[in-house]
Amino acid sequence: MENINTPIELTKNSAFRALKDKAFLWGVIIVSIITISPIVLIIGKLVWKGVSQINLSFFTEITPSTFEAMTAVASGEVIPGGIVNGILGTFLIVFLSAIIAIPVGILIGLFLFENQGKRYANLIRSLSDILQGVPSIVLGLIAYLWVVKNVTQGYSALAGSVALAIMMLPLIIRSTEETMKMIPGTLKEAGLALGVPYYKVILKVLIPSGISGLSTGILLAISRILGETAPLMLTTLGNPMINWDVTAPTSAVPLLIWDFYNDPNMVDLIWSSSLFLMGFVLTLNIISKRIAAKQ
C-alpha cells in the first residue's frame, strides 16, 4: 500500500524544511561576515589612520625631509608637505605605460581574434597567459637590463613605464580578444561586403563597437599596475622633487610608501598615501564596472 502523509506529518516536514532554510541562511550570513570582516577592518584602519594627513598640502607640496617630519612628530603636529611628486610621477609613468601597452595589446588581441585556432596565434595566447603569472620584480629586472642599462643609461620614468607596460599587456590582450568575440560577425561581413578595406573595418566598425569592453580591460590593467613597487625600485628609483623628464629618476606613490616605511618619522604618511592609492584604484574599478554594465 502507498504511504499517505497525514496533515500533521506534512506540517512537521514543512516546519523542518523552514528550520533548515533559516539555519542555512544564518550560516551563509555568518560565513560572509567572517570573510569580509578582515577587509572592513583593514579599510577602517586605513581611513582612521590616514585621514589625519589628508589636506590641501598633501596634494600640492612635495615630500618633507626627515628633519621636518621629526620636528612635527615631536611637537604633536601634522607632518608638513605632501606627496605631489609621487602623484605626478605615478601619472607620468602610468601615462607612458598606457601609450606603450594599449596599441600593442589591442593589435595582438585583434590578431588572436582573427586567427583563432592557428598554431602561431595559440602560441602567442599561451605566452600571454604565462606573462600574466610572471612576478612583477622579474619584469622590473628585464626593464632594468633593457632600458636602464642600454637606453637611458640610468634610472628613469621610461624604464618603469616599460616594466609596467609589459604587466598591462596580458589583460589588454585578453579583454580585446574576448570583446571582439562578443561582437556579431555580421557587422564585419557587412563592412567587407560594401567594399570597405579590411583595416577600416577594424578601425571604424569593430573597435568602436567594442569600445566598452576595451575600456574596461584598459582600466583594469591600469588598476593592476598602480600599486606595483618592485618594478619601480629597479627602474625609476624615486625622486624627492617633481620631475617631467622621462629619462630621469621619478617618484611614484608606491615608492614613497616604501620610503616612508623605512623612516619612523614618516609613519603617518604611510597611511595617508595608502589611503590615496586605495581610493584611486577603487575609483578606477568602479568606473570599469559601470562601463562593463553598459555593454
pLDDT per residue as tens digits for the range 261-293: 988 889 889 999 999 999 999 998 888 888 877
pLDDT of residue 1: 45
Does residue 92 contact residue 246 with C-beta atoms inside 8 Å?
yes
In whole angstroms, what is the distance from residue 3 CA to residue 13 CA?
15
Q: Per-residue pLDDT averaged across 187-199, rounded?
A: 86
pLDDT of residue 7: 66
More confident residue, 1 or 32: 32
Determine, yes or no, domain membership for 165: yes
Nearest Cα to Cα of residue 172 among 132, 121, 118, 226: 132
Residue 210 — φ and ψ, nearest 5°? -105, 25
Q: Report which residue type is found at 14.
A: S
Rg of the chain on CA atoms, in Å: 26
Classify each residue of 206-222 as buried b or exposed e, where b means 16 or more C-beta atoms within 10 Å of its C-beta.
bbebbebbbbbbbbbbb
- pLDDT, one tens digit per residue, over 220-275 is 999 999 989 999 999 998 998 999 999 999 999 999 999 999 888 898 899 999 99
SS percent in the chain: helix, strand, coil, step 5: 75, 0, 25
Number of H helices, E strands in the chain: 14, 0
Determine, yes or no, domain membership for 199: yes
Residue 150 — φ and ψ, nearest 5°? -115, -20
* Domain extent for 117: 89-253
Q: What's the number of domains the chain is made of?
A: 1
Determine, yes or no, domain membership for 38: no
Cell 577600416 -> residue: 200
Determine, yes or no, domain membership for 209: yes
In whole angstroms, what is the distance from residue 131 CA to residue 139 CA?
9
Residue 204: helix, strand or coil by DSSP? helix
In whole angstroms, what is the distance from residue 97 CA to residue 225 CA?
9
Residue 278: helix, strand or coil by DSSP? helix
In whole angstroms, what is the distance from residue 280 CA to residue 274 CA?
10
Q: Per-residue pLDDT averaged across 76-105, rounded?
A: 94
Which three cell numbers, joined as nine digits, stand for 192? Answer: 567587407
Alpha carbon distances (Å) from 60 to 126, 197, 252, 285 = 45, 50, 15, 25
- pLDDT, one tens digit per residue, over 105-115 is 999 999 999 99
User: What does DSSP assign to residue 150?
Assistant: T
Determine, yes or no, domain membership for 104: yes
Burial status of residue 16 (CB atoms within 10 A of its CB: 0-12, 13-18, 19 or more): exposed
More confident residue, 61 or 15: 61
Does residue 266 contact residue 174 with C-beta atoms inside 8 Å?
no
Determine, yes or no, domain membership for 128: yes
Verdict on whether the full-model pTM lies above 0.85: yes
Which three cell numbers, joined as nine digits, stand for 32? Answer: 560572509
Q: Per-residue pLDDT averaged across 178-194, rounded?
A: 88
In whole angstroms, what is the distance from residue 231 CA to residue 65 CA?
25
In whole angstroms, what is the distance from residue 116 CA to residue 120 CA?
9
Residue 4 confidence (pLDDT) above 60 = no
Determine, yes or no, domain membership for 167: yes
pLDDT of residue 9: 62
Determine, yes or no, domain membership for 84: no
- pLDDT, one tens digit per residue, over 141-168 is 999 999 999 999 999 999 999 999 999 9
Q: What is the CATH number of the domain that holds 221?
A: 1.10.3720.10
